[in-house]
Amino acid sequence: MDGRFLPAGDTALVVEFGDEIDRTLSERVLRLSEQIRSAAVAGVTETVPTFRSLMVHYDPLATTGAQLADDIRALVGSAGSRARRRRLWRLLACYAPACAPDLAAIAERTGLRAADVIERHARTRFHVYMIGFVPGYPYMGDLPAELRLARRADPRTRVPAGSIGIASSLTAVYPIESPGGWHLIGATPVRLFDPSWEHPSLLAPGDAVRFEPISLDEYESIRAAVAAGRYTVPSEEIEL
Protein backbone atom coordinates (compact mmCIF):
# COMPACT_ATOMS: atom_id res chain seq x y z
CA MET A 1 0.00 0.00 0.00
CA ASP A 2 1.15 3.58 -0.63
CA GLY A 3 -0.06 5.14 2.60
CA ARG A 4 2.43 6.69 5.03
CA PHE A 5 2.74 5.26 8.53
CA LEU A 6 3.33 7.90 11.20
CA PRO A 7 3.74 7.22 14.93
CA ALA A 8 1.40 9.14 17.25
CA GLY A 9 2.93 8.56 20.66
CA ASP A 10 3.35 5.02 21.96
CA THR A 11 -0.30 3.94 21.66
CA ALA A 12 -1.39 5.08 18.19
CA LEU A 13 -0.36 4.87 14.56
CA VAL A 14 -1.55 7.18 11.77
CA VAL A 15 -1.97 5.85 8.23
CA GLU A 16 -1.96 8.87 5.92
CA PHE A 17 -3.24 8.71 2.34
CA GLY A 18 -3.05 12.31 1.07
CA ASP A 19 -3.32 15.98 1.91
CA GLU A 20 -6.74 17.17 0.71
CA ILE A 21 -10.48 16.73 1.17
CA ASP A 22 -11.40 14.19 -1.46
CA ARG A 23 -14.05 11.46 -1.69
CA THR A 24 -11.55 8.95 -3.10
CA LEU A 25 -9.19 9.48 -0.16
CA SER A 26 -12.13 9.23 2.24
CA GLU A 27 -13.17 5.90 0.74
CA ARG A 28 -9.65 4.54 1.22
CA VAL A 29 -9.63 5.67 4.84
CA LEU A 30 -13.04 4.14 5.55
CA ARG A 31 -12.23 0.89 3.75
CA LEU A 32 -9.05 0.42 5.77
CA SER A 33 -10.92 1.15 9.01
CA GLU A 34 -13.48 -1.53 8.18
CA GLN A 35 -10.80 -4.03 7.16
CA ILE A 36 -8.92 -3.57 10.43
CA ARG A 37 -12.08 -3.96 12.51
CA SER A 38 -13.31 -6.97 10.52
CA ALA A 39 -9.95 -8.73 10.80
CA ALA A 40 -9.70 -8.02 14.55
CA VAL A 41 -6.04 -7.04 14.13
CA ALA A 42 -4.11 -7.92 17.28
CA GLY A 43 -3.78 -5.10 19.80
CA VAL A 44 -6.07 -2.60 18.02
CA THR A 45 -8.45 -0.84 20.41
CA GLU A 46 -10.02 1.81 18.16
CA THR A 47 -9.86 3.30 14.66
CA VAL A 48 -10.59 6.99 14.05
CA PRO A 49 -11.17 8.09 10.42
CA THR A 50 -10.33 11.65 9.35
CA PHE A 51 -10.48 13.41 5.96
CA ARG A 52 -7.23 11.93 4.70
CA SER A 53 -5.89 9.54 7.33
CA LEU A 54 -6.79 6.86 9.81
CA MET A 55 -5.60 6.91 13.40
CA VAL A 56 -5.26 3.39 14.79
CA HIS A 57 -5.12 3.19 18.58
CA TYR A 58 -3.47 0.09 20.04
CA ASP A 59 -2.53 -1.55 23.32
CA PRO A 60 1.27 -1.27 23.63
CA LEU A 61 1.30 -4.40 25.80
CA ALA A 62 -0.23 -6.40 22.93
CA THR A 63 1.64 -5.04 19.90
CA THR A 64 4.06 -2.35 18.72
CA GLY A 65 3.74 0.38 16.13
CA ALA A 66 6.15 -1.43 13.81
CA GLN A 67 4.31 -4.75 14.16
CA LEU A 68 0.96 -3.05 13.64
CA ALA A 69 2.21 -1.38 10.45
CA ASP A 70 3.32 -4.78 9.14
CA ASP A 71 -0.04 -6.31 10.05
CA ILE A 72 -1.92 -3.54 8.24
CA ARG A 73 0.24 -3.87 5.12
CA ALA A 74 -0.41 -7.61 5.05
CA LEU A 75 -4.12 -7.07 5.61
CA VAL A 76 -4.44 -4.59 2.74
CA GLY A 77 -2.37 -6.76 0.45
CA SER A 78 -4.63 -9.78 0.97
CA ALA A 79 -8.03 -8.06 1.07
CA GLY A 80 -10.31 -7.81 -1.94
CA SER A 81 -12.60 -4.87 -2.58
CA ARG A 82 -16.31 -5.11 -1.83
CA ALA A 83 -19.25 -2.76 -1.76
CA ARG A 84 -19.76 -0.89 1.49
CA ARG A 85 -23.13 -0.62 3.16
CA ARG A 86 -23.84 2.62 5.00
CA ARG A 87 -26.82 4.59 6.26
CA LEU A 88 -28.57 7.43 4.50
CA TRP A 89 -30.06 9.77 7.12
CA ARG A 90 -32.84 12.25 6.43
CA LEU A 91 -32.38 15.24 8.71
CA LEU A 92 -35.19 17.77 8.96
CA ALA A 93 -33.95 21.33 8.43
CA CYS A 94 -35.64 24.65 9.07
CA TYR A 95 -34.29 27.45 6.88
CA ALA A 96 -36.61 30.14 8.32
CA PRO A 97 -34.88 33.42 9.33
CA ALA A 98 -35.20 32.56 13.04
CA CYS A 99 -33.06 29.45 12.45
CA ALA A 100 -30.83 30.84 9.69
CA PRO A 101 -29.24 34.13 10.80
CA ASP A 102 -26.71 34.13 7.95
CA LEU A 103 -28.98 33.04 5.09
CA ALA A 104 -29.59 36.55 3.72
CA ALA A 105 -25.86 37.32 3.79
CA ILE A 106 -25.05 34.00 2.10
CA ALA A 107 -27.55 34.81 -0.66
CA GLU A 108 -26.05 38.27 -1.15
CA ARG A 109 -22.48 37.01 -1.28
CA THR A 110 -23.29 34.18 -3.69
CA GLY A 111 -25.56 36.25 -5.91
CA LEU A 112 -28.43 33.83 -5.38
CA ARG A 113 -31.91 34.23 -3.96
CA ALA A 114 -32.37 32.80 -0.46
CA ALA A 115 -34.75 30.21 -1.95
CA ASP A 116 -32.02 29.13 -4.38
CA VAL A 117 -29.49 28.75 -1.57
CA ILE A 118 -31.96 26.54 0.33
CA GLU A 119 -32.77 24.48 -2.76
CA ARG A 120 -29.11 23.80 -3.55
CA HIS A 121 -28.29 22.86 0.04
CA ALA A 122 -31.31 20.59 0.44
CA ARG A 123 -30.93 18.78 -2.88
CA THR A 124 -27.35 17.68 -2.13
CA ARG A 125 -26.65 14.24 -0.72
CA PHE A 126 -23.80 14.88 1.69
CA HIS A 127 -21.01 12.48 2.63
CA VAL A 128 -19.90 12.35 6.27
CA TYR A 129 -16.12 12.59 6.10
CA MET A 130 -15.39 12.54 9.81
CA ILE A 131 -16.67 13.33 13.31
CA GLY A 132 -14.72 15.90 15.31
CA PHE A 133 -14.32 19.40 16.84
CA VAL A 134 -16.92 18.56 19.52
CA PRO A 135 -18.57 15.17 20.16
CA GLY A 136 -20.91 14.18 17.34
CA TYR A 137 -19.96 17.10 15.03
CA PRO A 138 -20.13 15.79 11.43
CA TYR A 139 -17.94 17.31 8.72
CA MET A 140 -19.96 16.71 5.54
CA GLY A 141 -19.24 17.39 1.87
CA ASP A 142 -19.53 18.37 -0.73
CA LEU A 143 -21.30 21.71 -1.09
CA PRO A 144 -22.30 22.89 -4.57
CA ALA A 145 -19.56 25.18 -5.87
CA GLU A 146 -21.77 28.27 -5.81
CA LEU A 147 -22.31 27.95 -2.03
CA ARG A 148 -18.65 27.75 -1.05
CA LEU A 149 -17.57 30.59 1.21
CA ALA A 150 -14.64 31.17 3.55
CA ARG A 151 -15.37 30.97 7.27
CA ARG A 152 -16.80 34.03 9.00
CA ALA A 153 -14.24 36.71 9.87
CA ASP A 154 -15.94 37.10 13.27
CA PRO A 155 -16.67 33.67 14.84
CA ARG A 156 -19.58 33.49 17.25
CA THR A 157 -18.83 32.64 20.85
CA ARG A 158 -22.10 30.69 21.17
CA VAL A 159 -23.80 28.73 18.38
CA PRO A 160 -27.04 26.97 19.41
CA ALA A 161 -27.22 23.18 19.28
CA GLY A 162 -28.78 21.97 16.04
CA SER A 163 -27.47 24.88 13.96
CA ILE A 164 -26.54 23.94 10.39
CA GLY A 165 -23.44 25.71 9.10
CA ILE A 166 -21.50 25.96 5.85
CA ALA A 167 -17.86 26.88 5.20
CA SER A 168 -15.48 26.14 2.31
CA SER A 169 -16.75 22.94 0.64
CA LEU A 170 -18.43 21.58 3.76
CA THR A 171 -21.62 21.66 5.79
CA ALA A 172 -22.01 20.61 9.42
CA VAL A 173 -24.46 20.49 12.32
CA TYR A 174 -23.50 21.76 15.77
CA PRO A 175 -24.61 18.92 18.11
CA ILE A 176 -24.13 20.99 21.27
CA GLU A 177 -23.88 24.71 21.98
CA SER A 178 -20.34 25.81 21.21
CA PRO A 179 -18.28 28.56 19.59
CA GLY A 180 -18.24 28.48 15.80
CA GLY A 181 -17.15 30.41 12.73
CA TRP A 182 -19.33 28.82 10.06
CA HIS A 183 -22.19 30.60 8.27
CA LEU A 184 -25.50 29.48 9.79
CA ILE A 185 -27.90 28.44 7.05
CA GLY A 186 -30.58 26.68 9.11
CA ALA A 187 -31.23 24.40 12.07
CA THR A 188 -32.39 20.86 12.71
CA PRO A 189 -34.56 19.78 15.66
CA VAL A 190 -32.83 16.38 15.61
CA ARG A 191 -30.36 15.42 18.34
CA LEU A 192 -27.00 14.32 16.92
CA PHE A 193 -25.22 13.40 20.13
CA ASP A 194 -26.29 11.81 23.39
CA PRO A 195 -23.80 10.10 25.74
CA SER A 196 -26.58 7.80 26.97
CA TRP A 197 -26.98 6.15 23.55
CA GLU A 198 -25.19 2.90 22.77
CA HIS A 199 -23.48 4.81 19.95
CA PRO A 200 -23.41 8.41 21.25
CA SER A 201 -22.98 9.98 17.81
CA LEU A 202 -25.99 9.63 15.50
CA LEU A 203 -23.86 9.92 12.37
CA ALA A 204 -20.71 8.00 11.50
CA PRO A 205 -17.95 8.53 8.94
CA GLY A 206 -19.11 7.22 5.57
CA ASP A 207 -22.79 7.85 6.21
CA ALA A 208 -24.85 9.94 3.79
CA VAL A 209 -27.17 12.79 4.77
CA ARG A 210 -29.98 14.65 3.06
CA PHE A 211 -31.66 17.70 4.58
CA GLU A 212 -35.44 17.94 4.23
CA PRO A 213 -36.86 21.48 4.56
CA ILE A 214 -39.57 22.08 7.18
CA SER A 215 -41.44 25.15 8.43
CA LEU A 216 -40.71 26.92 11.69
CA ASP A 217 -43.92 25.49 13.21
CA GLU A 218 -42.86 21.98 12.20
CA TYR A 219 -39.41 22.63 13.64
CA GLU A 220 -40.84 23.60 17.03
CA SER A 221 -43.26 20.65 17.05
CA ILE A 222 -40.58 18.10 16.18
CA ARG A 223 -38.12 19.61 18.64
CA ALA A 224 -40.69 19.01 21.37
CA ALA A 225 -41.16 15.42 20.15
CA VAL A 226 -37.39 14.87 20.20
CA ALA A 227 -37.15 16.20 23.76
CA ALA A 228 -39.94 13.82 24.81
CA GLY A 229 -38.27 10.84 23.12
CA ARG A 230 -41.06 10.49 20.58
CA TYR A 231 -39.12 11.02 17.37
CA THR A 232 -36.93 8.64 15.40
CA VAL A 233 -34.67 9.98 12.68
CA PRO A 234 -35.58 8.28 9.38
CA SER A 235 -32.75 6.39 7.73
CA GLU A 236 -32.13 3.53 5.36
CA GLU A 237 -29.25 1.29 4.46
CA ILE A 238 -27.59 2.00 1.14
CA GLU A 239 -24.80 0.38 -0.84
CA LEU A 240 -21.85 2.47 -1.96
DSSP 3-state of 91: strand
pLDDT in tens, 216-236: 999 999 999 999 999 999 999
Q: Give the span between the Cα atoms of 117 and 104, in whole angstroms.
A: 9
Q: Give the span between the Cα atoms of 51 and 54, in whole angstroms.
A: 8
Q: Of 78, 96, 121, which closes a domain? A: 78
- Please report which confidence band the pLDDT of residue 85 belongs to, taking 50, 70 and 90 as the band edges: confident
| 32 shares a domain with 97 | no
pLDDT at 83: 55
- Please report which confidence band the pLDDT of residue 201 belongs to, taking 50, 70 and 90 as the band edges: very high
Number of domains present in the structure of the chain: 2
When pLDDT is averaged across residues 131-160 and rounded to a whole number, the result is 96
Q: Of 78, 110, 129, which closes a domain? A: 78
pLDDT in tens, 7-64: 999 999 999 999 899 999 999 999 999 999 999 999 999 999 999 999 999 999 999 9
CATH number of the domain at 15, please: 3.30.1360.40
| 66 shares a domain with 92 | no
Q: Cβ(213)–Cβ(93) under 8 Å?
A: yes
- Domain, as residue range, for 169: 86-239
Question: What integer best gives the mean pLDDT of the chain?
Answer: 94
| 198 shares a domain with 94 | yes
